[in-house]
Structure 1
Amino acid sequence: MPRASILVVEDSPTNMQLITDALKHEGYRISRATDGEEALEKAISEQPDLIVLDVILPKKNGFQVCRQLRSSPDTRNIKIIMLTSKSQESDRYWGLKQGADEYMIKPYKIEELLSNVAKLV
């Protein structure tokens, strides 16, 4: 049985590569987006099981993307892990308030990301 599909939304090519390599190694099917608008389009068209979502993105930030995903019946059940450098407690609170299932701060341990992914899919 194929593993879950994951949409990785990250504007840093280095971070994108690290995250996608780790997830592919675990057998997950990966698609990518590099800005908030592309993330919304792919979430609607591909219906991934989970989205790993950066907050600081071009066009729409991760908070806006998360809020829009949660407000639509077509995407409200997709699991979301916010993975961001925004490390204030107020950022974490706001991310979870927007509907994120998990809020992780960069730098992070890849094992922690994989554990959170496995927990949600």
Structure 2
Amino acid sequence: MADDKILIVEDSPTNLRLIKDLLKTKGYKVVTAIDGEEALEKAVSEHPRLMVLDIILPKKNGFQVCRQLKTSPDTQDIKIIMLTSKTQDSDRFWGLKQGADEYMTKPFDNNELLANVAKFL
């Protein structure tokens, strides 16, 4: 698991801490970003295997981040779990269409998030 680096992109300090603590207790190496531009930078510099990506973010939203990552040869292999408060079917459709590997809504179940992380790592 030491090589299973996960990038969490979340602008809410509370949610960021919850997700980070959950993943760290399971032995994952975690890096964080608080906006879409920082997410893109860290995706290139940190080479995570997986990203937990919020949609409603400053600077660039999660849809834009996902689309940009999935269309770049350097980052297209990063698995992306969108974790968002956007619960409409159209949001889920659009997230998956942008290239997300999974779409989860908040509030989230810890076990479901861990199962999805394990599925992609």
TM-score under structure 1 length normalisation: 0.98
Amino acid at match of 1:46: E
Q: Residues of 2 paired with 1:31 and 1:81: CA distance?
A: 15
Q: Is the 8 A contact 1:53 1:83 kept in 2?
A: yes
Instruction: Mark the runs of 5 or more structure 2 residues left unpaired by the alignment.
Output: none
TM-score under structure 2 length normalisation: 0.98
Q: Is the 8 A contact 1:36 1:62 kept in 2?
A: yes
Amino acid at match of 2:46: E
Name the structure 1 match of 2:11. 11
- Supply the RMSD in Å over aligned alpha carbons: 0.8
Q: Please list every run of at least 4 consecutive aligned residues from structure 1 whose deviation after the TM superposition is greater than 3 angstroms.
A: none
After the TM superposition, which of the residue ranges 32-41 and 2-11 deviates more from structure 2?
2-11
Paired residues, what number? 121
The Cα shift of 1:2 comes to 1.8
Amino acid at match of 2:112: E
Superimposed CA distance per residue, residues 65-103 of structure 1 (whole angstroms, 9 cap, x where no aligned partner): 000001100000000000000000000000000000000
Q: Residues of 1 paired with 2:43 and 2:83: CA distance?
A: 17
Q: Is the 8 A contact 1:82 1:104 kept in 2?
A: yes
Instruction: Mark the runs of 5 or more structure 1 residues left unpaired by the alignment.
Output: none
1:77 aligns with 2:77: yes
Q: Is the 8 A contact 1:36 1:57 kept in 2?
A: yes
- Correspondence 1:1-121 to 2 at 5 A: 2-121=2-121
